């Protein structure tokens, strides 16, 4: 689990040629219990979002790259509730500060007691 988080942060530190807007390149850390696609699961979703502009330079859509770790929705994980936190490059925030604060989140101590039942890596347009 720690390795997944560290690799996600390392991936997040790599800059890409994106639009010159504050939300063109973002990272999302979120978790919760959901029934989006079938049975109820607890999901930790680590996502990177890129803004895609049209030929005139206007925002057209976003591409999100997700790494989802899915767990059985046991009581200890359900008790964590839902949480999300965004980081965007080219703002006043620092990636290291954001990552350090989330690296100490209560989620990690609980997740260490469980193993994911599925890991999904996928891309979507939003």
What would the two tokens of residue 118 be? 């599925």
What tokens does 51 get?
């803004």
Is pTM beyond 0.85? Reply is: yes
Half-sphere exposure (CA, 13 Å, Cβ side) for 44?
23
Question: Which of the four pLDDT bands, split at 50, 70 and 90, describes residue 2?
Answer: confident
Give the pair of three-digit tokens for residue 91: 């703002």
Q: For 19-44, what is the mean pLDDT?
A: 91
- State the pLDDT at residue 22: 78
Rounded Cα–Cα distance for residues 87 and 105 (Å)? 15
Average pLDDT over residues 71-95: 94
């Amino acid at each position: 689990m720690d390795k997944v988080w560290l690799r996600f942060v390392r991936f997040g530190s790599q800059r890409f040629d994106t639009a010159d807007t504050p939300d063109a390149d973002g990272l999302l850390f979120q978790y919760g219990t959901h029934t989006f696609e079938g049975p109820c699961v607890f999901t930790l979703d680590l996502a990177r979002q890129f803004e895609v502009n049209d030929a005139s330079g206007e925002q057209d859509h976003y591409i999100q790259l997700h790494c989802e770790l899915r767990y059985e929705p046991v009581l200890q994980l359900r008790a964590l509730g839902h949480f999300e936190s965004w980081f965007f490059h080219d703002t006043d925030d620092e990636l290291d500060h954001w990552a350090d604060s989330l690296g100490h989140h209560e989620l990690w101590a609980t997740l260490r007691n469980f193993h994911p039942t599925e890991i999904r890596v996928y891309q979507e347009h939003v």
